[in-house]
Amino acid sequence: MCGIVGCTGSMPVKKVLVEGLKRLEYRGYDSAGVAIQQDGALEVVHRVGKVAGLESELACRDLRGTCGIGHTRWATHGRPSTVNAHPHASCDGRIAVVHNGIIENFAELREQLQARGHVFASETDTEVLAHLLEEAYAECPGDLLTALRRALQHVIGAYGVAAVCADEPGVIACARKDSPIVVGRGKDASYVASDIIALIDATRDVVVLEDGQLARLTPESITYFDERGREIEPEITHVDWDVDLAEKGGYPDFMLKEIHEQPRVVRDTLAGRMVGGELSIDELGLSYEELNLIDRVYVIACGTSYHAGLIAKNLIERWARIPTEVEVASEFRYRNPIITPSTLVVAVSQSGETADTLAAIRDARIRGAKVFGITNVVGSPVARESDGVIYTKANKEIAVASTKSFLGQVVSLTLLALLLAQTKGRLTTAQVRLLFRELGDTAEQIERILHDTEAIDEAAYACKDAASALFVGRGIGSAICYEGALKLKEISYLHAEAYAAGEMKHGPIALIDDGFPVIAVATESPVYDKLVSNLKECEARGALIVAIATEGDEEIKKIARHVIYVPKVRDCFTPITASVPLQLFARAIALLRGCDVDQPRNLAKSVTVE
């Protein structure tokens, strides 16, 4: 979603801002802009579309200013347009702000500000901040930080915000509440951003502001304050990512690079988990006794992470025999779920900052549940607000469509299911060890899938012009189908739905006619024969069947026009192997349809608004 960068130093800042905004492009956005201090005034430039467009416009301008802020906007209040793009300025144009998050009481504030004579240029919630700041600054001229702190006292909602003022050369003030802000010192400059990735060219030592904290940046130093304006000593986080992580590493797109990283994700997520022959997840934050008491599990998440939850339900109920519900966080948070102190809530979120998932965590904790987070981002709000956490070890995921993070989630949830089964005594130690070893073997099996993708490309070519597709499976296979369908629709804009195959004749089979694509997860399982019967019914009506099947299955060729083989694994591990060809299938169709696989339209990497 929206992204913030800011820099103050001794060199012209235009290029730094553009490079920082480019690093944030992966989050998804529809417009971009900068505000740069120049000759005692502020130059604000913004445009609809990609950062490259903004860069061309800036190239034509003689901007030498050494302090400025920039933003990529993903529209929430007001359509994507130049006037709605950030930065937003005060009436006198001497203050400019960039903001991530949502100001919930903006309508009320806007009305009050208009009544006091402020004139609004945009439809955004953010613009109220610029006008509030203008009023607050008039009360404490020369102290932008205090003005920002006071202005924010009127605001209800979430914000990561950075501001500059023409009257304070070289100063950036920033603050956060429920929307990340990171700050760091480079060699000769100070930097602010909403995401560490925008800073890693400049510094590896950053401060992640806590909710309520503010920072004042000058070219020489950064000073930190709490919400009452008292100076504080922040905690510095060292980031040890390789810059290459943010690059494509020779792949044509980030999505393909990330799909190919999945064997490593499996290995890293499992590393160190089997200690002295016993499965161990120390970070769980729950004692053996507390784990043993758990009698109900809720998995809460959104989108792809929700699909990982569907797989978790199957495994937790299968192995640990604990009733498990999976629910999208946006529903869970509003429906008064039945929670007791023996309920475990597992919150799954790649970004660790999804607004609905965070709200559901807070709600579950108020109701007395233990909350366990599964996230990819160290120190993210989901990690901080949960009782315990497993990090998925996927490393930064850049492509908007989640692939390696999904796999990391599935592996982590599989570990959790095994741990619950081990604790409850539902699986013997020997069974847990065997399953753990086979889970580890999937890394090599994924490598084999990635090695030969011809059948996937052929199937994609056959389906590329379809208007719609159905993904069907049974048992754990149907859970994989939901993710396969989501991947296809989000990056190729081809409409796709997933169904438990047994449901076909209760409605969806009406869609089938000649050439209608039916993608089946038809790997070896106890319900394989049932699935084949369902597929025969589709085939009889002309469906173009693409089957993901187990190596050696020759029978399936009688009904499927395209067969994509995956190595033979135990049924419980097919989510790991079968989702890889489905990711590649979606990507191949998206490319054939001319889509941008890394940055699909309308989507954001991190959904920080409700």
Task: Report the catalytic residues.
Answer: 2, 605
Pairing between strand 231-232 and 222-225? antiparallel
Binding status of residue 258 toward ligand F6R by CB under 6 A: no
Query: 507 to 526, contacts with ligand F6R by CB under 6 A?
Result: none
Amino acid in the structure at residue 289: E
CB-based contacts of 453: which residues, under 8 Å, 6+ apart? 581, 584, 588
DSSP category for residue 12: -
Total binding residues for ligand F6R by CB under 6 A?
14
Binding status of residue 401 toward ligand F6R by CB under 6 A: yes
Instruction: Considering only the stretches 27-35, 153-161, 331-339, 344-352, report the one whose residues sit in contact with ligand F6R under the rule CB under 6 A.
Output: 344-352
Q: Which residue, 350 or 412, is less far from ligand F6R as judged by CB?
A: 350
CA distances 281 to 269, 276, 393, 420, Å, are 11, 13, 14, 11
Residue whose pair of structure tokens reads 């802000």 in the numeric block: 181
CB-CB contact of 502 with 472 (8 Å): no
Which of residues 200, 286, 607, 609 is near ligand F6R by CB under 6 A? 607
Min dist CB 573 to ligand F6R, Å, is 21
Instruction: Considering only the stretches 44-52, 135-143, 296-304, 412-420, report the one whose residues sit in contact with ligand F6R under the rule CB under 6 A.
Output: 296-304
- CA–CA distance, 321 with 130 (Å, rounded to integer): 55
Pairing between strand 237-238 and 205-208? antiparallel
- CA–CA distance, 11 with 111 (Å, rounded to integer): 40
Binding status of residue 197 toward ligand F6R by CB under 6 A: no
Residue 69's φ and ψ, nearest 5 degrees, are -130, 155
- CA–CA distance, 573 with 525 (Å, rounded to integer): 11
Q: Say what angle helices 303-315 and 476-492 make with each other, to 10 degrees.
A: 170
Which of residues 302, 316, 543, 545 is near ligand F6R by CB under 6 A? 302
Which of residues 168, 178, 195, 490 is near ligand F6R by CB under 6 A? 490
Binding status of residue 500 toward ligand F6R by CB under 6 A: no
- Segment (H or E) for 161: strand 159-165
- CA–CA distance, 486 with 213 (Å, rounded to integer): 38
- CA–CA distance, 171 with 90 (Å, rounded to integer): 17
Min dist CB 93 to ligand F6R, Å, is 37
- Using alpha carbons, select from 22, 7, 23 the residue that is nearest to residue 65: 7
Q: Which residue, 501 or 578, is less far from ligand F6R as judged by CB?
A: 578
Q: Which residue, 84 or 392, is less far from ligand F6R as judged by CB?
A: 392
Which of residues 402, 423, 523, 577 is near ligand F6R by CB under 6 A? 402
Which of residues 179, 262, 343, 350 is near ligand F6R by CB under 6 A? 350
Instruction: Considering only the stretches 101-109, 221-229, 348-356, 449-457, report the one whose residues sit in contact with ligand F6R under the rule CB under 6 A.
Output: 348-356
Query: 304 to 323, contacts with ligand F6R by CB under 6 A?
Result: 304-305
Min dist CB 586 to ligand F6R, Å, is 10
Binding status of residue 349 toward ligand F6R by CB under 6 A: yes
3-state helix, strand, coil in the chain (%, to 5): 40, 25, 35
Min dist CB 28 to ligand F6R, Å, is 10
Residue whose pair of structure tokens reads 């992580």 in the numeric block: 245
Q: Which residue, 190 or 305, is less far from ligand F6R as judged by CB?
A: 305
Q: What dihedral do alpha carbons 249, 251, 255, 260 form, nearest 10°? A: -80
Which of residues 20, 70, 303, 567 is near ligand F6R by CB under 6 A? 303
Which of residues 354, 414, 523, 577 is near ligand F6R by CB under 6 A? 354
Min dist CB 401 to ligand F6R, Å, is 4
DSSP category for residue 318: I
Which of residues 84, 190, 203, 351 is near ligand F6R by CB under 6 A? 351
Which of residues 8, 146, 194, 357 is near ligand F6R by CB under 6 A? 357
Q: Give the residue nearest to ligand F6R (CB).
A: 303
Instruction: Considering only the stretches 59-67, 174-182, 346-354, 495-503, report the one whose residues sit in contact with ligand F6R under the rule CB under 6 A.
Output: 346-354
Binding status of residue 134 toward ligand F6R by CB under 6 A: no
Min dist CB 191 to ligand F6R, Å, is 24
- Strand, coil or helix: 475: coil
Q: Which residue, 302 or 460, is less far from ligand F6R as judged by CB?
A: 302
Min dist CB 576 to ligand F6R, Å, is 17
C-beta atoms surrounding 454 within 10 Å: 8
CB-based contacts of 2: which residues, under 8 Å, 6+ apart? 27, 29, 71, 72, 73, 74, 86, 99, 100, 194, 608
CB-CB contact of 181 with 160 (8 Å): yes
- Segment (H or E) for 259: helix 254-260
Min dist CB 163 to ligand F6R, Å, is 28
DSSP letter for each residue of 286-306: --HHHHHH--EEEEEE-HHHH
Q: Which residue, 399 or 501, is less far from ligand F6R as judged by CB?
A: 399
Q: Which residue, 401 or 439, is less far from ligand F6R as judged by CB?
A: 401
Q: Which residue, 55 or 258, is less far from ligand F6R as judged by CB?
A: 258
C-alpha distance across the termini of the chain, in Å: 12
Q: Which residue, 262 or 422, is less far from ligand F6R as judged by CB?
A: 262
Q: Which residue, 90 or 357, is less far from ligand F6R as judged by CB?
A: 357
Residues forming contacts to ligand F6R in the complex (CB under 6 A) are 302-305, 349-351, 354, 357, 401-402, 490, 606-607
